[in-house]
Amino acid sequence: MKFEPKKVRNFVVAGQSGTGKTSLCDLMLFKAKAVDRLGSVDNKTSISDYTADEQEKRSSIYAAHLTCSWKDMQFFITDTPGYGEFVGEVISGFRASDAALIAVDGVNGIEFGTARAWKFSNDFKIPRFFFVNRLDREQADFYKVLDELQEAYGKTVAIPLTIPKGKEADLSGVIDVLSDEEPPAEYKQIVEKYRSQLMDTAVESDDKLMERYLAGEEISAEEIKQGLHDAIRSGALVPVFAGSAAKDIGVEEVMDDIVNLIQTPLERYRVSADGTDIIPKEDGDAAAFVFKSVTDPFIGQMVYFRVLTGVFKANSDVINLTTGGKEHIGQMMILNGKTQIPVEEASPGCICAVAKLKTTKTGDTLGTSAECKAMSPMIFPAPVMAYAISAVKSGEEDKIMQGFAKLCGNDPTLRLERDKETHQVLLKGMGEQHLLMSVHRLKDIAKTEVHLHAPKVPYRETITGKGEGSYRHKKQSGGHGQFAEVHLRVESNPDGYEFVNAIVGGAIPKNFIPAVEKGVQEAMERGPLAGCLVEKMKVTVYDGKFHEVDSSEMAFKIAARMAFRDAMAKAKPVLMEPIMSARIMIPDAYTGEISGTINHKRGRILGMNAEEGLECIEAEVPYSEMLKFATELRSITQGKGSFEMSFARYEVVGQAVANEIIAKFQAENTEE
Ligand SMILES: Nc1nc2c(ncn2[C@@H]2O[C@H](COP(=O)(O)OP(=O)(O)OP(=O)(O)O)[C@@H](O)[C@H]2O)c(=O)[nH]1
Ligand SMILES: [Mg+2]
């Protein structure tokens, strides 16, 4: 099987969860006769949602790669999950594609998933088009959704290529705005309106065409097509289609226009990591971007790549341009859900899987010649939720680590980290479902289980005043005694930790000073209030005593540790907590409730603005209050909101809250 790049169309299907993306993909495969039976999400027979977990959930978790031929063209389709927590799959799906089909619900209109798909199309510089789906449902209203799209993305940008015939249960078909010569009388006016808007857009991209158009000359269908193609490619036009995947309405029109109007893989320019353009060619040196890797329980590690330029051949040697390593490609497969179809050659636009590469991982570029350029890796959002994990069966810690290492290698939004401050092992990801799913996967691939706990908050301690403390360590236990005395001062120092030796006249001999500092640093690892890291202070040793025979490094370390505690208690110690900067994207209707929730969480709202059809709240909230926010936001907004957060700084905890934390710590530590 070989593909001519001019006849390949590669696009990603993205948008809010439940807008019918997978149903649309199943229908496209069926119409293109890539399968003999129409797959269905609801009946657990979808070609795209083929994993047991997806069938159970009746919703996509992983991006699925599909392929079919339609009117002499080969489609490579990536169906992505709409559920916000699986965003990693969406990002790699966009990286692999030349255009985005954004599914929008005919009742709900713009939702978070719509805005996100729009943003990714911008980030990846790919043209997009909307499919307003589920128009057969009660209260579905194409024109209301169209208004929203035009409001958010531009009146002259979002223009229908098809409009619905009938509505809700009486939806009976669509009218093709450009080519339906005789639309039913009641639609004539509206068709004329959009047709003339499309004509304006089509001729705008070409001055000569524009002149002829204005002079009233005939413009050929081919010229209009080219004009629309260029306008879509530049983003000046984002066509809107109407339909219903469930009723098979408006889908063929979309498929035909994908063939007619969307850019070919040869028109998809990219920029390499060193800033030079990668201009795709039909043959010659080949390069492909590895956008994903998967651990298959039977085959082992599989990597998925998208050919950027040139032709790859099965059973050939290639170079990993990112690492410089050599690899051998054995069998190459294109994918239709779980079906793998071997191919001899892969050309621009193809999405292929290969097994058993030695060191290649997600984000690398493969090439047939060292002359080819590597692309930069993808950027994924930072995790927004964490669980502390522990082994269910002790002794399986290594197995757990290895299992998670594999999962993290395949999922760039998942991380396993040891927290230096709380000493917990944290599994971090994009939300509760994402983390639970990963733990479930661990059971599959490593046959081991973990307990999940709420993570401890890495509080810190510091002082707001100044204090002096001293301690004499003296012990006589048989032979040698132990003796050391340390006097020191602590004072607040916003710049960080500083240690000053102000001893004059040898009260503590120089060679013991490092031991004194060591003692101070040890004391700072476990503060007196709640056992947290102590920071931001200047510590000055100004006096002490020693004994010729009985003093030792150990004795000075102990004395310094105790003197430090004494001084800190007198210097107005306070507890500090991590504060997160959060950006919360929600539909307007939830602004009130989310603002209330933020206030309730001791958060501060810094600003609110409308962004791409959604409300964006910028806020700062203590980390301890955000541990479960991913889950709360989901339940408040019914999955229509999303957020990202990053560490901002430490701040002093208010007295009442601090007292609770300290009391809890002390109770736990006396129990021990
Ligand atoms: N009434 C109606 N229901 C539809 C239509 N298209 C899909 N559905 C139903 O909507 C539900 C969600 O469809 P999916 O195809 O799984 O939606 P999705 O966008 O892939 O969702 P995620 O995978 O969660 O992102 C299913 O129950 C479908 O049967 C439609 O045109 N009309
Ligand atoms: Mg889906």
Looking from the CA of residue 113, the nearest atom of ligand 1 is: 25
Question: Phi-psi bin for 115: left (phi > 0), alpha (psi -120 to 50), beta?
Answer: alpha
pLDDT of 164 above 60: yes
Q: Which ligand is nearest to the CA of 87?
A: 1
Q: Which CATH architecture has domain 8-263?
A: 3-Layer(aba) Sandwich (3.40)
| Per-residue confidence (pLDDT) for residue 638, from 0 to 100 | 85
Q: What are phi and psi of 386, to 5 degrees?
A: -140, 150
Q: Which ligand is nearest to the CA of 83?
A: 1
pLDDT digits (tens, 9 = 90+) for 289-333: 999 999 877 778 899 999 999 999 999 999 999 999 999 999 999
Q: Which CATH architecture has domain 271-367?
A: Beta Barrel (2.40)
Cα-to-chain-centroid distance, residue 632:
19
Centre of ligand 1 to C-alpha 532, Å, is 49
| Per-residue confidence (pLDDT) for residue 671, from 0 to 100 | 56
pLDDT digits (tens, 9 = 90+) for 442-477: 998 899 999 999 999 999 999 999 999 999 999 887
Indicate the burial class of 107 (C-beta count within 10 angstroms; 0-12, 13-18, 19 or more): middle
Give residues with Cβ within 8 angstroms of 53, minimum separation 6. 61, 437, 440
CATH 3.30.70.240 fits 575-657, yes or no: yes
Give residues with Cβ within 8 angstroms of 655, minimum separation 6. none
Centre of ligand 1 to C-alpha 246, Å, is 8
Neighbours of 460 (CB within 10 A): 23
pLDDT digits (tens, 9 = 90+) for 541-587: 999 999 998 999 999 999 999 999 999 999 999 999 999 999 999 98
pLDDT of 51 above 70: yes
The residue among 34, 29, 54 whose CA lies nearest residue 43 is 54
Centre of ligand 2 to C-alpha 21, Å, is 5
Q: Is 471 helix (H, G, I), strand (E, B) or coil?
A: strand
Section 403-414 average pLDDT: 94
- Write out the H or E segment, with its range, that includes residue 138: none
Going 378 to 383 to 387 to 389, the CA torsion angle's sign is positive
Residue nearest to ligand 1 atom 22, measured at CA: 17
The residue among 306, 360, 312 whose CA lies nearest residue 95 is 306
Ligand 1 pocket test, pick from 16, 22, 29, 254 with the greatest ligand atom count within 8 Å of Cβ, gives 22
501 vs 38: CA distance, rounded Å: 79
| Per-residue confidence (pLDDT) for residue 438, from 0 to 100 | 95
Section 511-523 average pLDDT: 96
Give residues with Cβ within 8 angstroms of 502, minimum separation 6. 540, 541, 542
The pTM of the full predicted model, rounded to 2 decimals, is 0.88
Residue carrying the six token digits 């980390």: 623
* CATH class as words, domain 465-571: alpha beta
Is residue 250 within 8 A of residue 103, CB to CB? The reply is no
pLDDT digits (tens, 9 = 90+) for 107-160: 999 988 999 999 999 999 999 999 999 999 999 999 999 999 999 999 999 999
The residue among 619, 601, 600, 599 whose CA lies nearest residue 609 is 619
Section 392-417 average pLDDT: 94
The residue among 506, 508, 505, 466 whose CA lies nearest residue 487 is 508
Residue type, 257: D
Q: Is 385 helix (H, G, I), strand (E, B) or coil?
A: strand
pLDDT of 58 above 90: yes
Q: What is the mean pLDDT of the chain?
A: 94
Is residue 477 within 8 A of residue 469, CB to CB? The reply is no
pLDDT digits (tens, 9 = 90+) for 204-245: 988 888 999 889 898 898 999 999 999 999 999 999 999 999
Section 493-514 average pLDDT: 94
39 vs 134: CA distance, rounded Å: 17
Centre of ligand 1 to C-alpha 87, Å, is 18
93 lines ligand 1 (CB under 6 A): no
Looking from the CA of residue 25, the nearest atom of ligand 1 is: 15
Centre of ligand 1 to C-alpha 99, Å, is 21
Residue carrying the six token digits 């490092």: 514
Q: Is 592 helix (H, G, I), strand (E, B) or coil?
A: helix
Section 321-350 average pLDDT: 95
Section 397-413 average pLDDT: 93
- The dotted CATH code for 385-453 is 3.30.70.870
21 lines ligand 1 (CB under 6 A): yes
Q: Which 8-state DSSP code applies to residue 244? A: B
201 lines ligand 1 (CB under 6 A): no
610 vs 170: CA distance, rounded Å: 35
Q: Which pairs with CB-CB distance under 8 Å and at least 24 residues apart come from 496-500?
A: 496/535, 496/536, 497/524, 497/535, 497/536, 497/537, 497/538, 497/539, 498/537, 498/538, 498/539, 499/538, 499/539, 499/540, 499/541, 500/538, 500/539, 500/540, 500/541
Residue nearest to ligand 1 atom 9, measured at CA: 20
Q: In which residue ranges of the chain is CATH 3.30.70.240 found?
A: 575-657
The residue among 293, 330, 324, 291 whose CA lies nearest residue 307 is 291
| Per-residue confidence (pLDDT) for residue 178, from 0 to 100 | 92
The residue among 293, 309, 295, 462 whose CA lies nearest residue 371 is 309
Looking from the CA of residue 81, the nearest atom of ligand 1 is: 25
Centre of ligand 1 to C-alpha 381, Å, is 27
Q: In which residue ranges of the chain is CATH 3.30.70.870 found?
A: 385-453
The residue among 611, 571, 434 whose CA lies nearest residue 491 is 571
433 lines ligand 1 (CB under 6 A): no
| Per-residue confidence (pLDDT) for residue 163, from 0 to 100 | 97
Neighbours of 153 (CB within 10 A): 21
| Per-residue confidence (pLDDT) for residue 420, from 0 to 100 | 87
13 lines ligand 1 (CB under 6 A): no
Q: Which 8-state DSSP code applies to residue 316? A: E
Indicate the burial class of 143 (C-beta count within 10 angstroms; 0-12, 13-18, 19 or more): middle
Q: In which residue ranges of the chain is CATH 3.40.50.300 found?
A: 8-263
| Per-residue confidence (pLDDT) for residue 539, from 0 to 100 | 98
The residue among 251, 332, 315, 339 whose CA lies nearest residue 46 is 339
116 lines ligand 1 (CB under 6 A): no
Centre of ligand 1 to C-alpha 23, Å, is 6
Q: In which residue ranges of the chain is CATH 2.40.30.10 found?
A: 271-367
